[in-house]
Structures are given as C-alpha cells and as structure tokens.
C-alpha cells in the first residue's frame, strides 16, 4: 500500500514550483491511473483510505471518488481525482491538487503558470494535455491550491479529448 501512496504523492506539485525545471507531475503514474477502470480506481481509493489514512473526497455519482491527504507537520495536502465518464472505461480526466498553507504562492503569476505547463507538457509529450490553475481557498485554515488537470490527447476507448488552451 505504501507503494501506491508514494506513486500518487509523486503527482504533487512541488513547493519549488516557481522553478520551471521542477517536475510537476509524473507521467508514469498518470499513465497507470489512466489505465484503470472506475471499479479498479475505487478499489485503490478504498485501500488508500484504509491503510494510509487518506480521506475520501467524494465525486458525483457520475465521476468517481477522489482522495486527499495532508501532512500535519507541513500543512501541505495532495488530492487526486480521476473523472470517469462511465463505469467501464478509463478516466477522461485526472485532477491533481496540491494544497499549501495560505501565502505560499504570493508570486504565482501567469508566467509561472505557463512555465509549469511547458515543463509538464515536455515531460508528458504529445499524448497528454495539461492545464495548471491556481486558486486561493479562504475557508479556514485557508490554502493556496495549484491544480494540474491532465487529459489524453489521443482518442482512447471511453475517453474524450480536451483541447489545449
């Protein structure tokens, strides 16, 4: 089970995101998640919650379950939410959210977003489209949230493509 948690944790945006050379997400782990059916992902999410202490972040009945975990020492969190179009096919989209204590990304700019997307896109190649977004959650305790939205560019059975912005 620790292997699964380590694989998912490698999807997180690293705190040094201002450096465009940092790896934003792992292609290997995204490839693996995009090969899962909804029931396989649900089984994996259940194992994470039971053995690693992740919490369930329920999606709608149509999209599937997300999981989230926080490091109590640093206050940093990671959420992984595949979005399924049906019960049998792979996810259509994977959203990886990194949650940082409020104020961690005071210098997040459009240039930072473009650099993160360019770095991640070069790692992933032409099979994927990635969009990076930044949000501030003001609900206590408050977080700076960096999300990476990953979709496949190639038409896969049961998957839809998303145009690159």
The CATH number for 100's domain is 3.30.1460
Q: What is the mean pLDDT of residues 127-137?
A: 90
Q: Token pair for residue 86?
A: 């049906």
Q: What is the dihedral of CA 160, 78, 118, 161, to 10 degrees?
A: 0
Overall pTM surpassing 0.85 (yes/no) = no
Phi/psi at 161 (nearest 5 deg)? -95, 160
Q: How many domains does the chain have?
A: 1
- In the chain, count H helices and then E strands: 4, 6
Per the domain annotation, does 165 fall within a domain?
A: no
Per the domain annotation, does 104 fall within a domain?
A: yes
Per the domain annotation, does 162 fall within a domain?
A: no
- Percent of the chain whose pLDDT exceeds 70: 73
- Report the 10 Å Cβ neighbour count for 152: 22
End-to-end CA distance of the chain: 36
Question: Can you say whether the dihedral through the CA atoms of 52, 57, 58, 62 is positive or negative?
Answer: negative
Q: At what angle do helices 38-52 and 2-9 cross, to 10 degrees?
A: 110
Q: What is the mean pLDDT of residues 126-137?
A: 90
Per the domain annotation, does 124 fall within a domain?
A: yes
Does residue 36 register a pLDDT over 50?
A: yes
- Give the pLDDT of residue 11: 52
Query: Are 98 and 146 a contacting pair, CB within 8 Å?
Result: yes
Per the domain annotation, does 43 fall within a domain?
A: yes
Per the domain annotation, does 123 fall within a domain?
A: yes
What is the extent of the structural domain holding 107? 2-152
Tens-place pLDDT, residues 41-84: 988 888 877 777 777 765 555 678 888 888 888 888 888 899 99
């Amino acid at each position: 089970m620790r292997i699964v948690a380590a694989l998912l944790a490698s999807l997180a945006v690293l705190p040094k995101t201002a450096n465009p050379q940092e790896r934003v997400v792992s292609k290997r782990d995204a490839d693996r998640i995009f090969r899962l059916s909804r029931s396989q992902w649900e089984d994996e999410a259940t194992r994470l919650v039971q053995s690693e202490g992740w919490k369930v972040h329920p999606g709608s009945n149509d999209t599937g379950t997300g999981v989230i975990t926080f490091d109590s020492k640093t206050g940093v969190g990671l959420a992984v939410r595949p979005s399924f179009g049906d019960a049998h096919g792979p996810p259509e989209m994977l959203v990886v959210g990194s949650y940082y204590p409020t104020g961690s990304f005071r210098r997040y700019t459009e240039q930072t977003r473009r650099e993160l997307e360019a770095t991640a896109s070069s790692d992933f190649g032409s099979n994927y489209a990635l969009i990076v977004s930044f949000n501030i959650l003001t609900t206590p305790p408050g977080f700076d949230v960096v999300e990476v939205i990953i979709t496949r560019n190639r038409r896969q059975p049961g998957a839809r493509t998303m145009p690159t912005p």
